Chains A and B, each alone.
Chain A
Amino acid sequence: MDDIVVSLKNITKRFPGIVANDRVNFELRRGEVHTLLGENGAGKSTLMNILDGIYQPDEGEIYINGKLVEIKNPSDAMRLGIGMIHQHFMLVETLTVLENVILGLAEQGLYINKKEISKRIEEVSDRYNLCINPSTKIWQLSVGEQQRVEIIKTLFRGAQILILDEPTAVLTPQEVEVSFEIYKQMIEEGKSIIFISHKLNEVMDISDRITVLRKGKYIGTVDTDKITEKELATMMVGREVLFRLERKPHERKDKVLQVSNLKALDDKGLLALNGLNLEVFSGEIYGLAGVAGNGQKILSEAIAGLRKVIDGKITIAGKDLTNASASEIFAHGVSYIPPDRLKMGLVPNLSSVDNAILRRYYKPPIYNRHLINYSEAERYAKKLIEEYDIMVPREDAPVKLLSGGNMQKLLLAREISEQPKLLIAVHPTRGLDVGATEFVRRELLKQRDNGVAVLLISEDLDEIFMISDRIGVIYEGQILDTFDIKEAKIEKVGLLMAGMKSEREFSEQVCSTV
């Protein structure tokens, strides 16, 4: 029997400026977990979006169960039994779970029979122990729960081939283990799974086979039990990778940031920070771990002066700056690398020059006799570009044309050049390739060595453990505990991220959150 369910042959996909997939081959056998491994930007998601019908390949062939097919849209993919769980969830936040599940389903009639569908959703939910209430609105769910809704959606559609795009990135270590159990159960039922990741330890743990992509090209396919993590890393990056960053012993000095009993609301008017306390000292990196949506973003905005707080106090270098304006806080030595560089830190349609001067267009020498001196501005931009080795087509080209890594370098360069006392870095390496990631982490360590207080907020636990001096865990708007790096254990931190003190509590939790 031919047990190859998916076969992609010589797939090529071009986007403006890049070849995202260059004659890529991929094969999935029935009942296996096959990992697609590669750095950010290697073309994994593009390839899977082609399989799911969202993108059309420029060249190449797709075979499903041995038959040549054309997948024009996600409905075609669904009919072929393919279901994808995207990294950015495909959920409509204002709709309920039930409404999201039936979205686009062909079978149902016009009228929604809520009772019947609810029952069916609950059946699926119970079978895999997913604990989802069909009448909840999506925005009321945690990130982990939203992912389970995505799983229900694909199962409800009877998907036999599941594509999971970096599903573990948003989960705590314990949640990852639970989700691996669910995947195993699916495999036992005869389903096949394509697992996208760039985390080697997970990949080794879950997959039967691994296909590696690098810069849009197919590198090779290997059996998991015949390869080591180190060899895989070399395949993925194209050179030997150092896992450890060199760190000088840390010298903790003055208290730069003190946050006490902070309370703030999110955009929906719900309490997002609930009496939070935090201290960051000069010469240290304070890593704040937590599952997305537990108040990290609100906290960073409150410190940077972008969100009003309703109670509590923020002191920077001894000065009370609670509810001060963003410019005032910046003037007191706070630089900020926001979570989404395209949304906040940069102005995508403006040039590198305009972006480089965002923090100093009103200071001499760039601001001169009531006008902006653009030759001076250009000189400054060029200096940053050279010093930080940023690749730009031209200084006057819009920054949206830069690669993610180069955008982040520009942003980082601009913020560091202001010689801050406090540097807030939120997800500073998200979406970057290994080279840029290393660069950013090294730069953060350099700042720490120079005596800057660094507040690192990240969902990537490995990153937090790699460069922090102290680690705090945020849960539901409070910091549950803080550890010195020498005493911090990843399991303990993971449990706290889920709001629990012990393993036992975790096993009891699963269905109680609903």
Chain B
Amino acid sequence: MTSQSSIFVTLSSTAVRSGTILLLPTLGEIFAERAGILNLGIEGMMIIGALFGFIAGFVTKNPYIGFVVGMIAGGLSALIHAFVSITLRGNQIVSGLALTIFGLGITNFFGQPWINRKFTIPVKDYAIPGLSKIPYVGQIFFHQDLFVYFSYVLMIAMWFMLFKTKLGVHLRAVGENARASDAMGVNVNRNRYFWTFFGGLLAGGGGAYLTLVYAPFWLDGITAGRGWIALALVIFAMWNPLYAFIGAYLFGGIDALQFQLQASGTTIPSSLLNMQPYLLTLIVVVAATIVLRKRHIGTPRELGEPYDREER
């Protein structure tokens, strides 16, 4: 392998890891939105998962336990949003923002003693027999850690569930027409609660992966707006789990490239490099929205609308 292609492979496999941080929350939000719940608290849930996952990993010296704790922390924080927007039928936009403010605040509060501590236990990479031998692709996609493989499996499982199983039909139905679903005996609130919680689990997992594997350290505000990018990637993926990875790895790639450039001592100011993902996301969202509108693909119809059975 030439040195150029080996740089490409290193960069790409970093891109996949960086993309995994975005892929997990994006997948979670796709399901929450499909069920009709708009959760603008991804950034908050991610950073909660990032901190508590980090602490748990640090204390137990086990990244896997840390990851699970991060997920649970994210899931629990999502339940606040679920309670406010489903049971109390509050405004979902404001509630989601409140969740983000809450997450940033609480992690600042509890994170103080952990700032700049490093998580030093390396996470092992595994080569998948056979697949890892494919030139380039094997090196990039099948020489990864268990978290990355988890995201592959999850993505495919979620796609299958959404379009091929009854659970998926129920999930889509409650987000499209809650009243009809209710009349047909589908428990709208239970479905919405569960998928909001599920979205929180994955957002927390994404955050934990950031602090346990990708960074791996804790810094106040370490998610740095990745939650908002994930929110945009949901549109880019057209609410289909199978398309989520395209956007996620694209932005992972930009992230990786930008670090590579900084490390190589470029003269471009780092602030302008750091801006790229946000600028690009904005462009991508505009483009995706225009395409979706042309093809008459819309958001889930009742996204953000509370359901009250006895309302007439």
| B183 A86 Cβ-Cβ under 8 A | yes
- B46 CB to nearest chain A CB (Å): 30
Cα(A75)–Cα(B183), bound, Å: 8
B301: Cβ under 8 A from any A Cβ:
yes
Residues of chain A with a CB closer than 8 A to B164's CB: 111-112
| A91 B177 Cβ-Cβ under 8 A | yes
A15-B312, A93-B176, A95-B176 known; A112 vs B182 contact (CB < 8 Å): no
| A74 B185 Cβ-Cβ under 8 A | yes
Cα(A303)–Cα(B205), bound, Å: 54
Cα(A456)–Cα(B182), bound, Å: 36
| A104 B184 Cβ-Cβ under 8 A | yes
The residue on A at minimum CB distance from B160 is: A111
| B172 A74 Cβ-Cβ under 8 A | no
| A110 B166 Cβ-Cβ under 8 A | yes
| B309 A54 Cβ-Cβ under 8 A | yes
- A74 CB to nearest chain B CB (Å): 5
| A75 B176 Cβ-Cβ under 8 A | no
Residues of chain B with a CB closer than 8 A to A417's CB: none
| B310 A55 Cβ-Cβ under 8 A | yes
| A94 B176 Cβ-Cβ under 8 A | yes
Cα(A433)–Cα(B180), bound, Å: 26
Query: Most B CB atoms within 10 A — which of A55, A75, A86?
Result: A75
The residue on A at minimum CB distance from B174 is: A92
Within 8 A of B (CB), among A42-88: 52, 54-56, 73-75, 78, 84, 86
The residue on B at minimum CB distance from A103 is: B184
Residues of chain A with a CB closer than 8 A to B296's CB: 267-269
Cα(A52)–Cα(B167), bound, Å: 23
- A56 CB to nearest chain B CB (Å): 8
- A63 CB to nearest chain B CB (Å): 22
| A94 B309 Cβ-Cβ under 8 A | no
B165: Cβ under 8 A from any A Cβ:
yes
A102-B166, A111-B165 known; A153 vs B310 contact (CB < 8 Å): no
- A502 CB to nearest chain B CB (Å): 37
| A92 B309 Cβ-Cβ under 8 A | no
B181: Cβ under 8 A from any A Cβ:
yes
A55-B310, A95-B169, A110-B166 known; A104 vs B177 contact (CB < 8 Å): no
A99: Cβ under 8 A from any B Cβ:
yes
| B185 A104 Cβ-Cβ under 8 A | yes
A331: Cβ under 8 A from any B Cβ:
no
Residues of chain B with a CB closer than 8 A to A100's CB: 184
- A407 CB to nearest chain B CB (Å): 14
The residue on B at minimum CB distance from A18 is: B312
Within 8 A of A (CB), among B179-202: 179-187
Identify which of B167, B173, B185 contacts A92 (C-beta below 8 A): B173
Q: Mark A86-129, 1 if CB is under 8 A from B, else 0.
A: 10011111110001101111101111100000000000000000
How many chain B residues have a CB neighbour from A under 8 Å?
Answer: 24
The residue on B at minimum CB distance from A75 is: B185
| B183 A102 Cβ-Cβ under 8 A | no
Query: Most A CB atoms within 10 A — which of B166, B167, B184?
Result: B184
A74-B185, A90-B184 known; A95 vs B166 contact (CB < 8 Å): no
The residue on B at minimum CB distance from A111 is: B165
Within 8 A of B (CB), among A219-276: 267-269
| B182 A74 Cβ-Cβ under 8 A | yes
Residues of chain B with a CB closer than 8 A to A110's CB: 165-167
Query: Most B CB atoms within 10 A — which of A86, A100, A103, A106?
Result: A103
B118: Cβ under 8 A from any A Cβ:
no
A15-B312, A74-B185 known; A90 vs B169 contact (CB < 8 Å): no
| B180 A92 Cβ-Cβ under 8 A | yes
- A175 CB to nearest chain B CB (Å): 23
The residue on A at minimum CB distance from B172 is: A95
Cα(A110)–Cα(B170), bound, Å: 11
Residues of chain B with a CB closer than 8 A to A89's CB: 180
The residue on B at minimum CB distance from A78 is: B185
| A153 B312 Cβ-Cβ under 8 A | no
A93-B177, A95-B172 known; A52 vs B166 contact (CB < 8 Å): no
The residue on A at minimum CB distance from B169 is: A99
Cα(A153)–Cα(B181), bound, Å: 13
The residue on A at minimum CB distance from B173 is: A92
Cα(A74)–Cα(B176), bound, Å: 18
| A108 B166 Cβ-Cβ under 8 A | yes
Contact surface of B with A, Cβ cutoff 8 Å: 164-167, 169-170, 172-173, 176-177, 179-187, 296, 301, 309-310, 312
A-B contact pairs, 9 of them (CB 8 A): A52-B183, A56-B310, A73-B185, A90-B180, A90-B183, A93-B176, A103-B186, A105-B185, A112-B164
User: In the complex, given contacts A74-B182, A108-B166, what are 4 additional A-B residue pairs having Cβ atoms less than 8 angstroms apart?
Assistant: A54-B182, A92-B177, A92-B180, A111-B164
7 smallest beta-carbon distances between A and B, as pairs = A75-B185, A104-B185, A104-B184, A90-B180, A90-B183, A103-B184, A104-B186
